[in-house]
Amino acid sequence: MDDEYDLICVGSGIGGCAAAAVAADAGARALVIERADVVGGVTAVSGGQIWVPGNRWARELGIADSAENGARYIDGVARGHNDPDRTRALLGAAGEAIEFFTGRGLALRVIRGLPDYYFPDAAHSVPDGRYLDPVPLPASALGDWAGRLRRTAVWSMGGGLGPGTGDDGPSDPVLTTGQALAAYFLRAALDAGAQVMTGATATGLLTGDGGVTGVVLDDGREINSRAGVVLATGAYDRDPDLVHRFEGVLDDHGTGAPPGIMGDHLRMAAPLGASIWSLPAARNTVQVGFPTGGTDEAGEARYRTHWVMHPHEIIVNSRGERFADESFYPAINAALQQLDGASQRLSNWPAWLVFDQDLAERGVVEVDPERVVSAPSVLELARTAGIGEAGLASTVARYNDACARGRDDAFGRGERPWSVAMSRMATGGGPGNPMLGPIARPPFHAARLARVQAGLGSAGLEVDGSARVVTWVGEAIPGLYAAGNATARNDMGFSAQSGTSNLRGLVQGYLAGRDAARRLAGT
């Protein structure tokens, strides 16, 4: 690698590769720096969805929608936590950004029958047409880079649900979901002439009279950049101090994000006076799950999220009480943040997944005695697990009555259209409520849950309409950009809407690359 480029993009997910592709397409010399030995970042382990109101694929299907309609939906759900102008800037630029990349090989399709999270309750929500996912493509489309794409098995939400490709696929496996999305954007960057450096960690920013002028690597090497630097590092899942600062509870905490998501963007930009903006933690995407017993490439515990609820299981707090609609993870996360002011304790944490042998035999949760408590009766299960006995017995009885009636009057489990659609995609469930089934067949089981982050943070760098990082007084820091999960979510106001993170990375990367190219040209 050389010692000077026109644009340096830190992070090889959708945001970094998008920025590099746009800048390189305009003639700039662009470099993508990735701290891991594989590329794709959090994008490659995502579901691959992109949420785009008013997209042309939906129009081709005769679905009427618009970017403004989507912005009004966000305004209503965000409840004042979004900046409406930034919401409209993001969604308004989405069509242009996507057209740029489809003109350079990106292939997308509508995920049919998948409604907005808050349909039909939220104004301007729609039952279909806003979710796009990548058309599968062979790994060989990446040429020599095919073996260097992050390949963590994930689940496809389009074209028939099925497992993504892992490391043991055929010689030319078909990439789906987030792997496919990451591959499309990596290919766009490479085809445009951008270079990619792996195994290199940026630890600081170089500055001069013109603002940010490059990066410092962990080995002390300096790489200069004429037009600036794009921070597309992801969030901070792997840094316990930052998680504690911005997300709260740390006990029984894990992440589905790959190693290296350490909050590098905050450390590099903060000394320059960058504004760090944060949502309430209850509005972030944190799911529940449990450790698998295995470890990841960094030697840390690997976690499995439990985001689709099945019959024969419930989630309870230490009193043995259900506290939210288990089929809708935003409801679970918000309830886990509920504080009891009298005791200064979280009312619903810790929490347990309680299930019976019917679910155990489906293999949904492995009954590992190191992580799962089992007992012949509900009362004995409560005593063994340390859950309130009377509360759990009463809760199971009420839940079983709800199953017999076919309706959960307490929390409406299985009635939200998005939850039902996801459940049927994941489990193949038929008509009726696919998530109700009694906890009746012994032995009974309880697994203490962990809070599992999804590569998203409540806090991030505040950016303007050109993805330029701004200071606390709203002034752009010359030559410093940010994209995707490294940025503040004041354009969305919440993170609980699938596909918005990939949308933000795509659009902000596009805007950053375009602005950097114009800056280079002096226009």
What average pLDDT does range 3-19 have in this prediction? 98
Q: CA-CA distance, 157 to 39, in Å (whole number)?
A: 22
- The pLDDT of residue 431 is 61
Residue extents of the structural domains in the chain: 4-236+455-521, 307-448
Q: Looking at residue 427, what is its pLDDT?
A: 63
pLDDT in tens, 191-203: 999 999 999 999 9
Q: Closest Cα partner for 130 from 141, 118, 121, 142?
A: 118
Q: Does CATH place domain 4-236+455-521 in 3.50.50.60?
A: yes
| Rounded Cα distance, 464 and 93, in Å | 13
Q: Which pLDDT value is given to residue 173?
A: 83
Cβ burial of 195 (10 Å; 0-12, 13-18, 19+) is middle
Q: Which residue has the higher pLDDT, 269 or 307?
A: 269
* Same-fold call for 4-236+455-521 versus 307-448: no
Helix H or strand E segment including 267: helix 264-269
Written as one letter, the residue type at 49 is Q
Q: How long, in residues, is the chain?
A: 523
For residue range 123-144, list pLDDT tens digits in order.
999 999 999 999 999 999 999 9
> Helix 378-385 crosses helix 389-405 at what angle (to 10 degrees)?
130
- pLDDT band for 156, please (50, 70, 90 cuts): very low
Does 69 or 158 have the greater pLDDT score?
A: 69
| pLDDT band, residue 93 (cuts 50/70/90) | very high
Q: Does domain 307-448 have CATH number 3.40.50.300?
A: no
Cα angle: 155, vertex 253, 13; to 5 degrees: 45
Nearest CA-CA partner of 288 in 268, 271, 303: 303
299 vs 282: CA distance, rounded Å: 29
Which range among 51-60, 75-84, 248-257, 310-319 shows the weakest confidence by mean pLDDT?
Answer: 248-257
Q: Which residues are paired to 471 by β-bridges?
A: 274
Q: Mean of the pLDDT values across residues 367-386? A: 95
Specify the residue for token string 């740029």: 100
Average pLDDT over residues 350-364: 92
CA separation for the pair 7, 510 (Å, rounded): 13
Residue 162: pLDDT band with limits 50, 70, 90: very low
Distance between start and end Cα atoms, the chain: 28
Strands (E), 177-210: 195-197, 202-208
**Residue 426: band (very low, low, confident or very high) from pLDDT cuts 50, 70, 90:** low
